[in-house]
Chain A
Amino acid sequence: MSAITSTVMTLADLQPGDFGTVERIMCLGPVQQRLLELGMSPGVDLEVIRTAPLGDPMEVYVRGFHLTLRRNEARCVILK
């Protein structure tokens, strides 16, 4: 595990029932834009609802709706 992943908290680190606040979206390009459009913009609060039976993807409650995303994308969401 690299130094970055161990010091920065991302959405992928949260467990069902955990809350978090978005600080920024780390990855660039379409993934960043899609996450932003779907409401994962800086300062927004979110809650992890559950993970799928095989551990991936995860379901998140954000801006009044439920969004599912893979851990791969969740790792882009840096939390405060």
Chain B
Amino acid sequence: MRSEILRRSRALFDRMLLADNAYAFLFEPDETGEVVSLDCETSGFNILADDVISIAAIKIRGNRILTSETFRALIRPGAAMDVSAIKVHQLREADVKLGRTIREVMPEFLRFIGSRPLVGYWVSFDVRMINKYLFGMLNINLPNRQYDVSELYYERKYGKAPPGTEIDLRYAAIAEDLSVPMLPQHDAFNDALVAAQMYVILRDMQKRNVRIPRQRTAPRAGDFSV
């Protein structure tokens, strides 16, 4: 709740700083009722030093994931790619060279998401990554509301859990628990799609007030060895 108030005040502030009024729509109240599932692949995990190399976004309208209306872009990074990151998402420099620059991509992306709330797994990381460029272009941060599926999942599964409960918020664990079929990971589109499926299921569970059962597992011997 507090973060929501912070976000709104931050948005009001950003609205005043907005460098280009053509993007005022980002601050209009959302009237579509849709949300957007978002995922970025990056050249590394350091927000300041690394670059976004691909973005995928999928609209979700009610219970329908609009995979027929998606946004996908490969981005040519300014900096050289980190070898460890290439191993993760298997986009080589040669592949991303085909992409466009983030400056070209951003306007299209912003028009696609509008003022819809954003959904993702650890979505704040993706948003901060995008903000890095956005701030330079428009002098603002993304004002959109964010729903992190790991938070929704935590609330449905571990909310009110007794202290000492082993908490597992790994992407694979969530997918397994919700039996969402895993897709080859580290592809922005696939990750956004899986997050979207998690989102519709979790939101429906909230609506129906269904909780995810916790397995009470006996402590394993290995847990104490470290």
Question: Do A and B interact?
Answer: no
